[in-house]
């Protein structure tokens, strides 16, 4: 039985050491999570699969890893200082703070209709449209909200509302010992900008020709007003992003190719069920986007939500970060909306040897969430299986490549030194011979150890017993130097010679 609620996943994560809330012994730090012993392996395995698929197995990609502390001008000219905001409003009566558009979404239709009329909008306008209109005239908005008796959903009473306002979601920090308005940096809100501002550095050091991409994995930070839904809406997140640079005109075809390629990746390599994936076409586009398509996964409790966004960012970013923009061949949208750049010392252009001229490449960006990927993999793999004896086992049916532990080596009796020594020796042999993550565990009886490995998603358990030592009960030594190997999914055990273990595991796990 698959996971029916996110609670089952959260509980497993804490119990088995996949994921813990951040700063728990001090009451937590909302919107942050710590990856435990199993979680860090699962996350790193997912990242490694992504890097292998997107960097190593292609001939047109370079990797990079840029600093998290980011020069403020990078995020001024990217548009984040202006646009990376959420609308906020406070209720003076109960001191509660709300995201303004979410507050409007929870009002009755007639309330929204009244606000729409006040601001000259059609009566069926949605919450985002109404919120945007009200933010244009906060004073008038305050009066309208009062007149319309907008209700606070936390206590179901009309609130005493402040003026709505925008709140920038970027974290700032003072850099260096002088506290003034100039000496701060942002924690990057996306890894993307580090790739754009290094476009020339990568080009010059690698001799790349269009089309080519830059890939990056790493942390980003968003000061969410209300972190929620476990790993889903957090303040510290990890991303896997690609900026793929093409000649203008090739962008639409390439965009479509990446959507298909990554849809297949989530199915074939991460193991997500294709029936639980959907594409979502954005109607309202960000200031930089020509088209954005999300890949959604159907999470328990949450329903369909975003795993990855794939945007056609046009020449927005390279254009925005270039000096002398007026002399560059930019697209209309970028020309019109990009802030005049008074700080960049570079033109982020590309010399097209065929056409003998400088161009500003277009960019297609597949941007996936690592934490959401981990969560989707866990949700997909989670299974509660009814056993013949009436008990239930929890088993994570992870793809072997994702499994935190590939093999657990278990001694049948932990008070028997010969068995323990042999088990540890086999663990080291597998570890050294294959590089596969192998562990030794003797902290419980064998049945319990199997259940633990099932919950961890370990594809195989190897058990060392008296037979292994040539001490079978019937006095025979036929089973000397053999072990049992147990399959996670079928729970079937077979006897195998120790010398055949490595080839067996290599074939079944594909390492």
Can you list the positions of beta strands (E) in 163-204?
Answer: 165-168, 172-174, 184-187
Q: Minimum Å distance from CB 136 to a second copy? A: 21
Look-up of token digits 């969430």: 369
Contact set for a second copy, span 435-474 (CB under 8 A):
435, 437-440, 443-444
Which residue's CB is nearer to a second copy, number 82 or number 301?
82
Question: Of 145, 197, 396, 403, which one interacts with a second copy (CB under 8 A)?
Answer: 197
Which residue's CB is nearer to a second copy, number 98 or number 291?
98
Cα separations (Å) of 236 from 190, 230, 368, 371?
11, 12, 14, 10
Q: Interface with a second copy includes 219 (CB under 8 A)? A: yes
Q: Minimum Å distance from CB 214 to a second copy? A: 8
Q: Interface with a second copy includes 185 (CB under 8 A)? A: yes
SS (H, E, C) 306-335: EEEEEEEEECHHHHHCCCCHHHCCCCHHHH
- Cα 424 vs. chain centroid, distance in angstroms? 36
Which residue's CB is nearer to a second copy, number 85 or number 471?
85
Torsion of CA 462, 410, 408, 451, to 10 degrees: 100
CB burial readout 192-212, b (16+ within 10 A) else e: bbbbbbbbbebbeeeebebbb
Which residue's CB is nearer to a second copy, number 176 or number 329?
176
Which residue's CB is nearer to a second copy, number 284 or number 428?
428
Which residue's CB is nearer to a second copy, number 362 or number 440?
440
Q: Interface with a second copy includes 200 (CB under 8 A)? A: yes
Bridge partners (DSSP) of residue 359 are 350
Closest by Cα among 2, 4, 8 to 300: 4
Question: Of 255, 399, 427, 486, which one interacts with a second copy (CB under 8 A)?
Answer: 427
Q: Minimum Å distance from CB 135 to a second copy? A: 15
Q: Minimum Å distance from CB 275 to a second copy? A: 29
Q: Minimum Å distance from CB 194 to a second copy? A: 6
Q: Interface with a second copy includes 102 (CB under 8 A)? A: no
Which residue's CB is nearer to a second copy, number 353 or number 356?
353
Which residue's CB is nearer to a second copy, number 23 or number 470?
23
Confirm if 16 and 457 have CB atoms less than 8 A apart: no
- Interatomic CA distance for residues 468 and 487, integer angstroms: 19
Question: Of 4, 5, 11, 34, which one interacts with a second copy (CB under 8 A)?
Answer: 34
Question: Of 79, 164, 194, 400, which one interacts with a second copy (CB under 8 A)?
Answer: 194
Q: Interface with a second copy includes 358 (CB under 8 A)? A: no
Contact set for a second copy, span 12-31 (CB under 8 A):
14-17, 20, 22-31
For residue 211, cis peptide bond before it (omega within 30 degrees of 0): yes
Which residue's CB is nearer to a second copy, number 294 or number 371?
371
Q: Minimum Å distance from CB 494 to a second copy? A: 26
Question: Of 109, 432, 474, 490, which one interacts with a second copy (CB under 8 A)?
Answer: 432
Q: Interface with a second copy includes 33 (CB under 8 A)? A: yes
Question: Of 39, 369, 373, 457, which one interacts with a second copy (CB under 8 A)?
Answer: 39
Q: Minimum Å distance from CB 287 to a second copy? A: 20
Q: Minimum Å distance from CB 343 to a second copy? A: 5
Residues in binding contact with a second copy, number by CB under 8 A? 89
On the 0-12 / 13-18 / 19+ scale of CB atoms within 10 A, 283 is: exposed
Contact set for a second copy, span 406-425 (CB under 8 A):
424
Question: Of 202, 270, 368, 402, which one interacts with a second copy (CB under 8 A)?
Answer: 202
Closest by Cα among 209, 193, 132, 187 to 165: 132
Q: What's the order of all strands across the beta sheet hosting 460-464?
A: 438-440, 407-411, 460-464, 482-487, 493-497
The runs of H, that is alpha helices, within 119-209 are 127-136, 138-147, 192-197, 199-206
Q: Minimum Å distance from CB 293 to a second copy? A: 28
Q: Interface with a second copy includes 265 (CB under 8 A)? A: no
Cα separations (Å) of 202 from 48, 50, 354, 367?
22, 20, 21, 20
Contact set for a second copy, span 146-175 (CB under 8 A):
167, 171-175
Contact set for a second copy, span 43-82 (CB under 8 A):
43, 52, 56-57, 59, 62-71, 73-74
Q: Interface with a second copy includes 285 (CB under 8 A)? A: no
- Interatomic CA distance for residues 96 and 100, integer angstroms: 12
In the numeric block, which tokens belong to residue 464?
Answer: 């060392």
Question: Of 81, 126, 256, 346, which one interacts with a second copy (CB under 8 A)?
Answer: 346
Q: Minimum Å distance from CB 34 to a second copy? A: 4
Q: Minimum Å distance from CB 121 to a second copy? A: 27
- Interatomic CA distance for residues 11 and 16, integer angstroms: 8
- Interatomic CA distance for residues 227 and 234, integer angstroms: 5
Q: Minimum Å distance from CB 395 to a second copy? A: 17
Q: DSSP label at 274?
A: G
Question: Of 345, 390, 415, 507, which one interacts with a second copy (CB under 8 A)?
Answer: 345
Confirm if 436 and 461 have CB atoms less than 8 A apart: no
């Amino acid at each position: 039985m698959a996971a029916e609620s996110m609670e089952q996943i959260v509980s497993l994560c804490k119990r088995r050491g996949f994921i813990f809330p951040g700063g728990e012994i001090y009451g937590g730090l909302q919107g942050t999570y710590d990856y435990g012993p199993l979680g860090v392996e699962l996350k790193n395995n997912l990242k490694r699969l992504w890097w292998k698929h997107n960097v190593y197995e292609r001939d047109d990609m370079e990797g990079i890893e840029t600093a998290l502390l980011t020069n403020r001008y990078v995020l001024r000219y990217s548009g984040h200082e202006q646009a990376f905001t959420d609308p906020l409003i406070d209720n003076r009566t109960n001191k509660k703070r709300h995201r303004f558009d979410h507050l409007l979404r929870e009002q009755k239709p007639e309330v929204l209709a009244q606000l729409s009329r006040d601001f000259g909008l059609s009566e069926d306008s949605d919450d985002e449209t109404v919120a945007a209109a009200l933010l244009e005239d906060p004073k008038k908005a305050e009066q309208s909200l009062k007149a319309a008796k907008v209700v606070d959903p936390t206590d179901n009473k009309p609130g005493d509302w402040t003026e709505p306002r925008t709140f920038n979601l970027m974290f700032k920090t003072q850099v260096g010992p002088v506290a003034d308005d100039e000496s701060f940096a942002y924690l990057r809100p996306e890894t993307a900008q580090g790739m754009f501002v290094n476009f020339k550095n990568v080009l010059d050091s690698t001799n790349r020709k269009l089309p080519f991409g830059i890939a990056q994995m790493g942390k980003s930070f968003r000061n969410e007003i209300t972190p929620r839904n476990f790993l889903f809406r957090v303040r510290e997140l990890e991303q896997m992003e690609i900026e793929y640079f093409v000649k203008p005109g090739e962008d639409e075809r390439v965009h479509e190719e990446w959507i298909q390629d990554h849809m297949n990746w989530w199915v074939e390599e991460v193991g997500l069920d294709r029936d639980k994936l959907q594409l979502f076409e954005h109607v309202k586009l960000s200031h930089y986007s020509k088209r954005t398509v999300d890949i959604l996964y159907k999470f328990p409790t949450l329903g369909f939500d975003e795993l990855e966004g794939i945007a056609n960012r046009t020449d927005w970013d390279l254009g925005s970060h270039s000096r002398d923009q007026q002399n560059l061949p930019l697209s209309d949208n970028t020309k019109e909306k990009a802030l005049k750049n008074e700080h960049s010392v570079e033109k982020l252009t590309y010399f097209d040897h065929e056409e003998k001229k400088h161009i500003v490449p277009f960019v297609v960006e597949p941007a996936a969430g690592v934490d959401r990927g981990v969560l989707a993999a866990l949700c997909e793999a989670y299974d509660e299986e009814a056993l013949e004896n009436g008990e239930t086992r929890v088993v994570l049916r992870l793809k072997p490549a994702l499994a935190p532990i590939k093999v657990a080596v278990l001694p049948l009796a932990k008070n028997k030194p010969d068995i323990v020594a042999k088990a540890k020796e086999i663990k080291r042999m597998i570890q050294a011979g294959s590089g596969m993550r192998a562990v030794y565990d003797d902290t419980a009886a064998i049945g319990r150890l199997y259940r633990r490995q099932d919950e961890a998603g370990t594809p195989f358990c190897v058990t060392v017993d008296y037979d292994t030592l040539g001490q079978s009960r019937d006095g025979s030594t036929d089973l000397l130097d053999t072990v049992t190997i147990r399959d996670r999914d079928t729970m079937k055990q077979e006897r195998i010679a120790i010398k055949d273990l490595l080839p067996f595991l290599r074939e079944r796990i594909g390492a």
